[in-house]
């Protein structure tokens, strides 16, 4: 008997006491900043893979801010990818710049194990933070030139491979046997001449610091040089040479002949005053036609509103409004309105080739102010004309519009109105017909989309989802995503990527969390996603706070709905039941002996915290069971009697 | 004492097995319900089963 009891004790599991973690979180997350390559490497250890649902990939949350936050996420790969189970990830400076518009500051990272197959996700690891300084990569100091009169010249390649580019370089030097560095030179060029005054014939160490805009610097290697100060050769050109010449300098320095002086700029200056603005031209500008082109630009800006030459105008670079005959074909409103618009837009609608009226010939440009000018003087003229004076003629010249308008009135408007009446009004009527304030989701017509339509809708969802940052999304953005999801139905998201599903899931959670901020219409949108009634959304939002099962159901709703694409009328209530069942299997005793908040329950409010959908699902199951039990009991009693 | 306890244990298991279908129904009901309804149903099921098993001898008299 004792052995039997012992065997039973050993064989029977005690789920209530078991510690069960479906998917374990990674551990030992470390961050390493590499300023030379401009990268931050996150490295972590995988779990022992002994859990029920080991990681299939890792989600990496990260942020760059003074306070710990992880507004962005990225994954090591998709399930099954060769790199999905990598236990390190490298953030590059360009990536950080693309996400945060900067690549320095306090950087935060946390990792989570994901098992997408079973929709099982571990806890996030503790967030690890590291400071990325505004520090460029170091430079290599190797090239120098002592054969110079002014000093020893160093040259290096610009530092550009780090998180930031170097904005200044600081040159340090010291005697090799000294300990303290001397700063000499701070500039942005990639070369520097250290004057001989600072040096003697000795062994020196040189070092260069590449510094960012906030003066965070990265030191180069130390370059040791046996300095031999330059001694000028015996030439007549030097006035600063020392009196004793070292014997080793044998060659004679001959200063190169001075380069020929640059050609003196043409002194002929043309001052032109155009519309009150002084412009200065040289003779070269006169010769190469710059002045003429500028004048064309001025004329065309007046005429067409485009500061372009005639050649550019002819090429079509300027967006000149179409002639009025074409424009009015589209303006199909009323006669008076059209005429008024024409009058208002007269300046714009004048055809550019209307030479008789508008095109001011270049020759007629009036001189405003000329020129102190000796060689062939160029006279500039400015023709000042008022377009409004010309406009009435144009209006008179287009009476044809009236006829066109009449035709439009007779034909096109009617056609358009007919089209309008044919399409959207009918839709509006059908949408308005239910008449209830909060229509049940089931009352709506089922979605009947073709595969192509679903694919298009999924693409739209993906497009919106890619633009949204869930943690920072406004209520309107959240609702917009949910409306898109409703267009195809949650279960059709199986055609979208896992990332999109996860974002939609996060959006659903966000909507539930912010339900108090939603309008009635927005609540309906959320209700439609969850396949519940609108008034149940508030109940769910309240239950999420203290009911772990419902909270988990909301968290996993999208994933499970996608998994159950083939199940008709799959709602949040089904997810709740599934999770309750899984919880019962894991820990049956706790499911029945969870009496938290029992004191708050009264006979009157039992069941008030259940959604209507949940009640119906329960009735569908419980009532047949009870009836069957009653029937069997009745049969038993009848048989005994 | 042990023999008596063992005898009661066997009887309780038999009674529980007799209630199998009822218990299945109640378990399903509990899992299908949420919130206060689930708590009340679960608590009622446990208490009723305990009373049922503790009163075996009383009911058989």
User: For the residues of B1-61, what is the DSSP string, one character each?
Assistant: -HHHHHHHHHHHHHHHHHTHHHHHHHHHHHHH--HHHHHHHHHHHHHHHHHHHHTHHHHH-
Contact residues on chain A for B30, CB-CB shorter than 8 A: 580, 591-592
**How far A619 CA lies from chain B's nearest CA (Å)?**
9
Q: pLDDT band for position A638 (50/70/90)?
A: confident
Domain A143-226 top-level CATH class? mainly beta
Query: Is there a contact between A618 and B39 if contact means CB atoms under 8 Å apart?
Result: no
Q: Considering only A202-206, A439-443, B20-24, which range has the smallest mean pLDDT?
A: A439-443
With a CB cutoff of 8 Å and minimum separation 6, the contacts of A454 are: A488, A492, A495
B41 near B30, Cβ under 8 Å?
yes
Bridge partner residues of A186 (DSSP)? A170
Answer yes or no: same fold for A22-132 and A143-226. yes
Please answer whether residues A323 and A349 qualify as being in contact, where contact means their C-beta atoms are separated by less than 8 angstroms.
yes
Of B29, B37, B46, the CB nearest to A606: B37
**Residue A267: its pLDDT value, please?**
44
Q: In angstroms, what separates the C-alpha of B54 from chain A's closest C-alpha? A: 19
Interface membership of A542 toward B (CB under 8 Å) = no
Residue A584 and residue B31: Cβ atoms within 8 Å? yes
3 state DSSP class of A375 = coil
pLDDT at A461 over 80: no
Question: pLDDT class for A80, splitting at 50, 70, 90?
Answer: confident
DSSP letter string, A448-517: ---HHHHHHHHHHHHHHHHH--GGG--HHHHHHHHHHHHHH-GGGGGGS-HHHHHHHHHHHHHHHHTGGG
Question: Which of B6, B18, B35 is most worth mutating to test chain A (most A CB atoms within 10 A of its CB)?
Answer: B35
Mean pLDDT of A413-420: 44
Alpha helices in A153-282 (DSSP H): none
**In the structure encoding, which two tokens stand for residue B38, read together?**
């689930």
Q: Which of B21, B22, B29 sits opposite A618 (nearest CB)?
A: B29
**Contact: A632, B21; criterion CB under 8 Å:** yes
Biggest alpha carbon–alpha carbon distance for chain A: 142
Digit-coded pLDDT (tens) for A574-619: 888 888 888 888 888 777 777 676 777 777 777 778 888 888 888 8
Q: Do B36 and A605 touch (CB under 8 A)?
A: yes
Dihedral class, residue A371 (left if φ above 0, else alpha if ψ from -120 to 50, else beta):
left
Please count the residue pairs, one from chain A and one from chain B, whose beta carbons lie less than 8 angstroms apart: 84
Using CB atoms and an 8 Å cut-off, which of residues 575-614 of chain A contact chain B? 576-577, 580-581, 584, 591-595, 597-598, 600-601, 605-611, 614
DSSP for residue A111:
E
Quote the minimal CA–CA distance from A625 to chain B in Å.
5
The length of chain A, given as a count of residues = 641
Strands A151-155 and A39-45: unpaired
Q: Can you name the CATH fold of A22-132?
A: Immunoglobulin-like (2.60.40)
Residues of chain A contacting B21 with CB distance shorter than 8 Å: 628-629, 632
On average, the pLDDT of chain A sits at 72
CA nearest A559: which of A471, A498, A486? A498
Crossing angle (nearest 10°) for helices A498-513 and A534-546: 90
H or E stretch covering A63: strand A57-64
A78, A81, A83, A86 alpha-carbon torsion, rounded to 10°: 70
A621–B21 CB contact, under 8 Å: no
Rounded (to 5) percent helix, strand, coil in chain A: 40, 15, 40
Residue with tokens 């097995």: B17
Are A255 and A237 contacting, i.e. CB atoms less than 8 angstroms apart? yes
Using a CB-CB cut-off of 8 Å, the residues of chain B touching A575 are none
Q: What angle do CA A99, A101, A107 make, to 5 degrees?
A: 65
Q: Do B42 and A550 touch (CB under 8 A)?
A: no
Burial A612-636 (b: 16+ CB within 10 A, else e): ebbbebbeebbeebeeebeeeeeee
Top-ranked range on mean pLDDT: pick from A114-128, A463-477, A511-525, A583-597: A114-128
Q: Any idea what DSSP says for residue A44? A: E
Q: Which range (A43-52, A256-265, A430-439) has the least confidence?
A: A430-439
Inter-chain contact B34–A610, Cβ cutoff 8 Å? yes
Task: Give the pLDDT band of residue A559 (cuts 50, 70, 90).
Answer: confident
- The proportion of chain A whose per-residue pLDDT surpasses 90, expressed as a percent, equals 5
The secondary structure of residue A229, as a DSSP letter, is -
Q: Which of A580, A624, A627 to mutate to test the interface with B (most CBs of B within 10 A)?
A: A580
pLDDT at A331: 45
Q: Which whole-number Å values give the CA distances from A381 to A223, A353, A365, A368, A371, in the listed order?
A: 67, 22, 4, 6, 12
Residue A198 has pLDDT above 50, yes or no: yes
Token pair belonging to A527: 């209700």
**What are the tokens at A436?**
């209830």
Coil vs helix vs strand at A113? strand
Contacts of A576 in chain B (CB under 8 A): 34
Chain A residues with CB-CB distance to B36 below 8 A: 597, 600-601, 605-609
How close, in Å, is residue B29 to chain A by CA atoms? Answer: 5
Residues A113 and A640: their CA atoms lie apart, in Å, by 60
Question: CB–CB of A618 and B37 under 8 A?
Answer: yes
CB–CB contact A601 B40 (8 Å): yes
Best residue in B5, B13, B33 to probe A by mutation, most A CBs within 10 Å? B33
| A43, pLDDT greater than 90 | yes
What pLDDT was estimated at residue A108?
Answer: 92
Q: Do B36 and A601 touch (CB under 8 A)?
A: yes
Q: What pLDDT does residue A470 have?
A: 64
CB A113 within 8 A of CB A61: no
Q: Report which of residues A556 and A444 the model is more confident about.
A: A556
For residue A410, CA distances in Å to A329, A403, A413, A446 come to 13, 11, 7, 42
- Give the distance from residue B35's alpha carbon to the nearest chain A alpha carbon, in angstroms: 6
Does A192 or A236 have the greater pLDDT score? A192
Average the pLDDT over A523-536 and give the result.
84
* Cβ proximity of A351 and A323 under 8 Å: yes
Tens of pLDDT, residues A232-283: 776 544 444 444 444 444 444 455 555 555 554 444 455 555 545 555 666 6
Nearest to B28 among A597, A625, A632 (CB): A625
- What pLDDT was estimated at residue A359? 44
Interface confidence, given as ipTM, is 0.77
| Percent of residues, chain A, with pLDDT higher than 70 | 66
Q: A5 CA to chain B: closest CA distance, Å?
A: 11
What would the pLDDT profile of A366-401 be if each residue is shown by its tens digit? 444 444 444 454 444 444 444 444 444 444 444 444
In terms of CA atoms, which chain A residue is nearest residue B20?
A629
Residue from the list B24, B35, B43 with its beta carbon closest to the beta carbon of A609:
B35
Q: Of B29, B36, B43, which is closest to A622 when you measure between CB atoms?
A: B29
pLDDT confidence tier of residue B11, bands split at 50, 70 and 90: very high
Structure tokens at A552: 């988990």
Tokens (6 digits) for A555:
């968290």
And the tokens for A43? Answer: 């490295």
Measure the CA–CA gap between A165 and A210, rounded to whole angstroms.
9
What's A280's DSSP letter? E
The confidence score (pLDDT) of residue A19 equals: 47
**Residue A451 · residue A477 · CB < 8 Å:** no
Got the DSSP string for A396-418? HH-THHHHHHHHHHHTHHHHHHH
Residue in A23, A31, A107, A61 with CA at minimum distance from that of residue A506: A61
Distance (Å) from the C-alpha of residue B14 to the closest C-alpha of chain A? Answer: 17
pLDDT at residue A439, rounded to an integer: 41
Total length of chain B: 61
Buried b / exposed e along A241-261 (16+ C-beta atoms within 10 A): beeeeeeeeeeebeeeeeeee
Query: Looking at residue A343, what is its pLDDT?
Result: 45
In angstroms, the CA A446 to CA A80 distance is: 35
Q: Please indicate if any CB of chain B lies within 8 Å of the CB of A12.
A: no
- Chain A residue with CA closest to B25: the answer is A625
Question: Where are the domains positioned within chain A?
Answer: 22-132, 143-226, 269-408, 452-594+605-621
Given B31, B32, B39, which is nearest A594 (Cβ)? Answer: B39
Residue A612 neighbours by CB under 8 Å, 6+ apart: A532, A533, A535, A536
- Per-residue confidence band for B6, with pLDDT thresholds at 50, 70 and 90: very high
Cβ of A593 within 8 Å of Cβ of B42? The answer is yes
- Residue with the bigger pLDDT between A346 and B26: it is B26
Q: Which residue of B has its CA nearest to A630?
A: B22
pLDDT at position A475 is 73
- Out of A20-34, A216-230, A276-290, which region has the weakest mean confidence (pLDDT)? A276-290
- Which tens digits make up the pLDDT trace of B29-48? 888 888 888 888 888 888 99
CB-based contacts of A8, cutoff 8 Å, min separation 6: none
Sign of CA dihedral A313, A314, A317, A322: positive
Query: Does residue A109 carry a pLDDT above 90?
Result: yes
Q: Dig out the tokens for A51 from the structure.
A: 């859990």
CB-count exposure of residue B30 (10 Å: 0-12, 13-18, 19+)? buried
CA atoms within 13 A on the CB side of A429: 6
Which residue in A607, A617, A619 has the most chain B C-beta atoms within 10 A of its own C-beta, making it the best mutation to test that interface?
A607
């Amino acid at each position: 008997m004792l052995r039997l009891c012992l065997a039973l004790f050993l064989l029977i599991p005690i789920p209530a006491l078991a510690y069960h973690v479906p998917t374990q979180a990674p551990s030992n997350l470390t961050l390493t900043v590499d300023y030379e390559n401009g990268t931050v490497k996150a490295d972590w250890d995988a779990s022992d893979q002994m859990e029920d649902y080991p990681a299939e990939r890792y989600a990496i949350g990260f942020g760059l801010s003074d306070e710990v936050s992880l507004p962005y996420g990225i994954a090591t790969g998709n399930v099954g990818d060769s790199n999905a189970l990598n236990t390190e990830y490298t953030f590059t400076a360009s990536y950080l710049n693309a996400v945060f518009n900067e690549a320095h500051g306090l950087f935060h990272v946390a990792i989570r194990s994901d098992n997408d197959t079973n929709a099982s996700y571990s806890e996030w690891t503790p967030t690890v933070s590291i400071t990325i300084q505004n520090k460029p990569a170091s430079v290599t100091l190797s090239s120098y030139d002592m054969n110079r009169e002014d000093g020893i010249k160093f040259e290096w390649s610009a530092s550009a491979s780090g998180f930031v580019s170097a904005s200044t370089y600081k040159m340090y030097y010291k005697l090799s046997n000294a300990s303290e560095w001397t700063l000499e030179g701070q500039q942005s060029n990639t070369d520097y001449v250290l004057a001989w005054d600072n040096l003697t014939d000795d062994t020196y160490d040189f070092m260069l610091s590449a510094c960012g805009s906030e003066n965070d610097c990265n030191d180069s290697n130390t370059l040791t040089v046996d300095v031999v100060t330059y001694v000028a050769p015996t030439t007549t050109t030097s006035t600063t040479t020392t009196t004793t010449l070292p014997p080793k300098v044998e060659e004679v320095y001959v200063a190169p002949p001075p380069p020929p002086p640059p050609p003196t700029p043409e002194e002929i200056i043309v001052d032109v005053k155009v519309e009150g603005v002084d412009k200065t031209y040289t003779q070269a500008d006169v010769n190469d036609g710059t002045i003429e082109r500028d004048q064309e630009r001025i004329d065309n800006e007046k005429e067409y509103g485009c500061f372009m030459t005639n050649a550019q105008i002819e090429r079509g670079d300027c967006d000149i409004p179409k002639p009025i005959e074409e424009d009015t074909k589209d303006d199909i409103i009323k006669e008076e309105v059209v005429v008024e618009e024409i009058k208002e837009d007269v300046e714009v609608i004048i055809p550019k080739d209307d030479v008789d009226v508008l095109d001011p010939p270049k020759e007629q440009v009036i001189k405003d102010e000329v020129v102190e000018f000796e060689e062939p003087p160029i006279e500039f003229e400015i023709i000042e004309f008022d377009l409004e004076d010309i406009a009435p003629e144009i209006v008179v010249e287009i009476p044809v519009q009236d006829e066109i308008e009449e035709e439009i009135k007779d034909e096109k408007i009617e056609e358009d109105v007919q089209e309008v009446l044919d399409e959207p009004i009918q839709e509006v009527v059908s949408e308005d017909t239910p008449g209830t304030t909060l229509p049940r989701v089931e009352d709506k017509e089922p979605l009947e989309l073709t595969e192509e339509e679903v694919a298009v809708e999924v693409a739209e969802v993906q497009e919106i989802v890619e633009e949204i940052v869930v943690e920072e999304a406004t209520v309107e953005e959240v609702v917009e995503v949910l409306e898109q999801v409703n267009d195809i139905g949650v279960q059709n998201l199986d055609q979208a990527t896992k990332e999109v599903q996860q974002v939609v899931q996060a959006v659903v959670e966000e909507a539930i969390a912010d339900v108090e901020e939603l309008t009635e219409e927005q609540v309906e949108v959320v209700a439609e996603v969850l396949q519940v009634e609108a008034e149940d959304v508030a109940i769910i939002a309240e239950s999420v706070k203290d009911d772990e099962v419902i909270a988990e159901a909301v968290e996993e709703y999208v994933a499970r709905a996608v998994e159950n694409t083939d199940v008709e009328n799959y709602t949040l209530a089904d997810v709740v039941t599934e999770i309750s069942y899984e919880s019962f299997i894991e820990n049956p005793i706790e499911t029945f002996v969870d009496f938290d908040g029992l004191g708050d329950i009264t006979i009157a409010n039992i069941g008030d915290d259940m959604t209507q959908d949940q009640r119906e699902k329960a009735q569908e199951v419980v009532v047949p069971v009870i009836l069957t039990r009653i029937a069997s009991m009745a049969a038993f009693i009848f048989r005994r009697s | 004492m042990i023999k008596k306890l063992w005898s009661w244990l066997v009887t309780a298991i038999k009674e529980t097995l007799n209630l199998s279908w009822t218990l299945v129904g109640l378990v399903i009901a509990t899992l299908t319900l949420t919130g206060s309804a689930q708590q009340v149903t679960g608590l009622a099921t446990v208490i009723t089963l305990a009373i049922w098993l503790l009163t075996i001898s009383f009911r058989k008299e």
